[in-house]
Chains A and B, each alone.
Chain A
Amino acid sequence: MTSLDLSPAPGAASRARRLRAQTAMELRLTVRNGEQMVVTFVIPLLLLIVGSRSDRFIDSDRPLDVLAPGVLGLAIVSTSFTSLAIATAFERRYGVLKRLGATPLSRSGLLGGKVGAVAILQVAQFAVLGGLAVALGWRPEEPVAGVVWLLVLGLLGTIAFGGLGLLLAGTLRAEATLALANLIYVLLLVGGGLLLPLDRHPEAARGLVTLLPSGALGEGLREAFATGSPGTFVVVVLAVWAVVAAAAAGRWFRWE
């Protein structure tokens, strides 16, 4: 039998160390999960490649001007909403949130780890998808302002969609969250103003689409890369969604 010192020596690791460990763990688990990688990388990549090669999809001589910002918006939704909701729902179901909430990490550290992992994944998405778009010939009119707005709208969109994702995960059963998070991802992708510009949506739906966080994100990014500014309306819509979704998640999220 190995001798092992079991005597008490309680103490928490530093906050920075706990957060780093939790973020790294979340990242490892996400990257290892095939379905999450399909939603966050494979689908956006395929859309970018297929969309840029076919004019059936977007009727323009510069399809990437429309497509690339939309795919970046989709990437934001895939990590902050779909992937986050599904992962968190199962953590809740299997008592991971409960167990880690009883360690020095605590609930705030759990949330911090998620924020960190989502942010790192999104930067990787931006690099991979943006890089591929440029390689395919994307030359935005306003690359610098576009990237700055990508970060700003990305932050607001992540708070809005992250709040909605956590709201699902923290109130519904894990299976229901899994189904809904995927379904909403597909619906927003097709008809939520994310990938296709507003003028490709039915006229009656346009008013609604501009008020959706997905519509605001998609339109805002397309405008920002084309003109250097997304317009005030889009920023306000996203900011309102961010505040409401975060508050709702804080109010109704159940850890067990």
Chain B
Amino acid sequence: MHYGRGDGQVRAVDGLSLQVAPGTVTAILGPNGAGKTTTIETCEGFRRPQSGQVRVLGLDPVGDAEELRPRVGVMLQSGGAWLGVRAGEMLRHMASLYAHPMPVEPLVERLGMTSFARTTYRRLSGGQKQRLSLAMAIVGRPELVFLDEPTAGLDPQSRRATWDLVDELRRHGVTTVLTTHYMDEAQQLSDFVHIIDAGRVIASGTPTELVADGAQNTIRLRTRAGLDTDSLAKELPAGATVAEPEPGHYVLTTGVDPAVLHRLTGWCAAHDVLVDSVLVEHQTLEDRFLELTGRELR
């Protein structure tokens, strides 16, 4: 998927391939400009890929748009409402376009929109616009929703409320595809994560798998200075390294499981080493991302 022609051409999505299982939450995670919006908007039928194939619910997002529109809910990254429309009025209008919409009042309450339901869109705060946009995506009772950065710019409470809603949608059997550049969001919220960068998927899997696929974890050990680090490294699984960046402060890089910790403490007992502290640092999705792309997310 590219934009423009000739020299100015931007290849925004490049041979990207992914699948989404029904009833799950899938996160598309990537830095700004990675191609998240382009990917999701291609699935929504806003643009036609120049090559490759997209199927949504088994249908062509452009050719079968009429059949898909009632079944798919869309939250744009920004905009999507008249400046002069009131929040509640916009939501009621959206509801009137569907056959079996959610009742608007309970939805307004559920998303904490009551206080600004009569405020015009131009006077809503960024977070209030996000909440309206989310409500607009689900009011028609879709079976599949696409949310483009649903929590960007939200305060922690509203973020949590959005997560709860996505979780509840999953429990009701709705499939969700969302984009985010927040690691914790992808890790907590989604069943599957696709990390994309420069228009390509660079890693896919459940959050746990992605982290477990990663390199080694770190154990920080504090005790007396001058231990025989080679001897300790030999006790650990192959590939483990032991360093003493400061006297009495050791950094062990190794896969960690209960047996490894047992061997570590066993070696300490055998060498009469009293440990002051041992800290196991598990890798997060963020570490994994940095490892894969070599760059900061935000």
Contacts and interface: CB of A to CB of B under 8 A. Distances in A.
A32 B122 CA distance: 14
Interface in A150-192: none
B136 A99 contact: yes
A6 B106 CA distance: 11
Interface in B79-124: 79-85, 93-94, 96-100, 102-103, 106-107, 109-110
The A interface, classified by DSSP as helix, strand, loop or mixed, is loop
A18 B94 CA distance: 9
Interface residues of B, number: 43
Contact of B99 (A3, A13, A21, A99): A13
A106 B66 contact: yes
A4 B66 contact: no
Interface stretch (B139-147, B204-212, B231-239, B268-276): B139-147
Interface in A94-114: 94-96, 98-99, 102-106
B172 A21 contact: no
A128 B168 CA distance: 53
Interface in A12-30: 12-13, 17-18, 21-22, 25, 29
Contact of A90 (B46, B83, B140, B172): B83
A18 B101 CA distance: 13
B110 A9 contact: no
B44 interface: yes
Of B66, B74, B97, B169, the most chain A CB neighbours within 10 A belong to B97
A1 B110 contact: yes
Contacts of B71: 8, 10
Contact of A103 (B83, B94, B107, B109): B94
B193 interface: no
Interface string B119-159: 00000000000000000101011110000000000000000
A54 interface: no
Contacts of A9: 99-100, 141
A199 to B, nearest CB: 43
Contacts of B138: 6
Nearest to A11: B99
A102 B69 contact: yes
B78 interface: yes
Interface residues of A, number: 34
Given A99-B74, A103-B94, A10 B141 contact: yes
Contacts of A5: 102, 172
Nearest to A255: B46
A62 B66 CA distance: 56
Given A10-B71, A29-B84, A94-B81, A4 B100 contact: no
B49 interface: no
Nearest to B80: A99
B203 interface: no
Interface string B216-239: 000000000000000000000000
12 contacts: A3-B106, A7-B141, A8-B173, A9-B100, A9-B141, A10-B141, A11-B141, A18-B97, A90-B82, A95-B79, A98-B46, A103-B140
